[in-house]
Amino acid sequence: GQQLNQSPQSMFIQEGEDVSMNCTSSSIFNTWLWYKQDPGEGPVLLIALYKAGELTSNGRLTAQFGITRKDSFLNISASIPSDVGIYFCAGRRINTGTASKLTFGTGTRLQVTL
Amino acid sequence: EPEVTQTPSHQVTQMGQEVILRCVPISNHLYFYWYRQILGQKVEFLVSFYNNEISEKSEIFDDQFSVERPDGSNFTLKIRSTKLEDSAMYFCASSGGMDEQFFGPGTRLTVL
């Protein structure tokens, strides 16, 4: 099946630092989504990307859809304590007229120290 | 802001019992999904639903699982005879079209 690998698996950073994480796949996806999950809660959508090469920002977050359509990157600038959580990438192949599933990555656990 | 809701937040059941997990998707959405997440692992797709029928299902979604949209607002996942390995967080999601999927807060299912 399709596998999405995220790196790093986990990271400790200092408050104020910038963060980069990425997601790679052996398969092509039409859409890339980035979600954040806090303990015991559901994934919350952060950014959606629809075209190869697309660069999209949401506040301090910036994500890019890789040119090969097999990868995506998420950057967080000037991290704050509430950025703590697990970040998941998710890829989707669009099947017209049907509900297309998301394939989730393995997750990057972010911990921020003051 | 509209959101996906799920009930119950936590369900404890005995092995072999039937459980029904309930979801109310965002009201104008047409596409509905169930995912599960075993503790400490990634989110896994179970089933998608559109136009009153299953669009796609994963290998996990065997004959013990079923979904239903009994009325205009609810979307349910039934597990007929629960197994220990069904213990997980179950997430419902919905989308308005070929776009983002929004997730509910989840139901934690514990099978004893």
Q: How far apart are CA A67 and CA A97, in angstroms?
A: 26
A88 and chain B in contact, CB less than 8 A: yes
Nearest to B50 by CA among B35, B29, B26: B29
Q: How far apart are CA A61 and CA A73, in angstroms?
A: 10
Q: For residue A93, what pLDDT is reported? A: 83
Q: For residue A100, what pLDDT is reported? A: 82
Residue A3 confidence class, pLDDT cut points 50, 70, 90:
confident
The token pair that represents B80 in the structure block: 């007929």
A100 and chain B in contact, CB less than 8 A: yes
CA dihedral (A1, B31, A51, A95) in degrees, to 10, reads 60
Report the gap between the CA of B17 and the closest CA in chain A (Å): 24
Residues 6+ apart with CB under 8 A from A81: A15, A112, A114
A91 and chain B in contact, CB less than 8 A: no
At which residue do the structure tokens 């890019």 appear? A64
Mean pLDDT throughout A22-42?
Answer: 93
The answer to whether B28 and B8 are in contact (CB under 8 A) is no
Q: How far apart are CA B90 and CA B77, in angstroms?
A: 9
Residue in A with minimal Cα distance to B98: A94
Using the CB atoms, write b or e for B74-106: b if 16+ within 10 Å: ebebebeebeeebbbbbbbbbbeebebbbbbbb
Residue in A with minimal Cα distance to B43: A104
Mean pLDDT throughout A84-100?
Answer: 83
Q: For residue A96, what pLDDT is reported? A: 59
Question: Is residue A32 pLDDT above 60, yes or no?
Answer: yes
Q: In this complex, how many residue pairs, one in chain A and one in chain B, have their CB atoms less than 8 Å apart?
A: 68
Q: For residue A50, what pLDDT is reported? A: 92
Q: Residue B48 and residue A98: Cβ atoms within 8 Å? A: yes
Question: Is residue A46 pLDDT above 70, yes or no?
Answer: yes
Q: How far apart are CA A107 and CA A3, in angstroms?
A: 12
pLDDT tens sequence for chain B (112 residues): 789 999 999 999 999 999 999 999 999 899 999 999 999 899 999 999 998 999 999 999 999 999 999 887 899 999 999 999 999 999 999 998 767 899 999 999 999 9
Helix (H, G, I), strand (E, B) or coil at A48: strand
Mean pLDDT throughout A97-105?
Answer: 82
- Per CB-CB distance under 8 Å, the chain B contacts of A44 are 103
Q: Residue A42 and residue B50: Cβ atoms within 8 Å? A: no
Pairing outcome for strands A71-76 and A31-37 = unpaired
Mean pLDDT throughout A23-30?
Answer: 92
Q: Residue A41 and residue B49: Cβ atoms within 8 Å? A: no
